[in-house]
C-alpha cells in the first residue's frame, strides 16, 4: 500500500507541474495603455467625488432621520 501511495502522489505532482508549466507558457492578454489610464482616471474621480463631502463639512447630512426638523 505504501508503494502505491508514493506512486499516486508522484503522479499527481507530475500532473501539477505539467499544468503549472502550461499556465506559464500561456500569456494573459494585458489591457491596453489607454484602458489602464482610463481606469486610473475613473478611480481618482470616484475617490474625489466621495471625499469632497467629507472635507466640506464635519456634520453628517440629516437625511432620512426620524427626528429631523
Please determine, for residue 55, whether its predicted confidence score (pLDDT) is greater than 70. no
64: left (phi over 0), alpha (psi -120 to 50) or beta: left
Query: What tens digit of pLDDT does each residue of 26-53 get?
Result: 877 888 999 999 999 999 888 776 555 5
Domain assignment of residue 4, yes or no? yes
Alpha carbons 60 and 50: distance in angstroms, whole number: 14
Name the pTM for this structure.
0.39
Written as one string, the DSSP assignment of 7-20 is HHHHHHHHHHHHHH
Name 39's Cβ contacts closer than 8 Å, sequence gap at least 6.
31
Please determine, for residue 67, whether its predicted confidence score (pLDDT) is greater than 80. no
Domain that holds residue 6: 1-26
Domain assignment of residue 11, yes or no? yes
Within 1-69, residue ranges assigned H as helices are 2-25, 33-56
Our count of domains for the chain comes to 1
Give residue 68's pLDDT: 58
Amino acid at each position: 500500500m505504501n508503494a502505491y501511495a508514493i506512486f499516486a502522489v508522484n503522479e499527481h505532482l507530475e500532473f501539477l507541474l505539467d499544468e503549472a508549466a502550461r499556465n506559464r507558457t500561456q500569456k494573459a492578454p494585458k489591457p491596453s495603455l489607454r484602458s489602464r489610464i482610463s481606469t486610473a482616471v475613473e478611480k481618482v474621480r470616484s475617490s474625489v467625488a466621495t471625499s469632497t463631502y467629507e472635507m466640506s463639512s464635519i456634520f453628517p447630512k440629516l437625511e432620512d432621520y426620524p427626528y429631523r426638523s
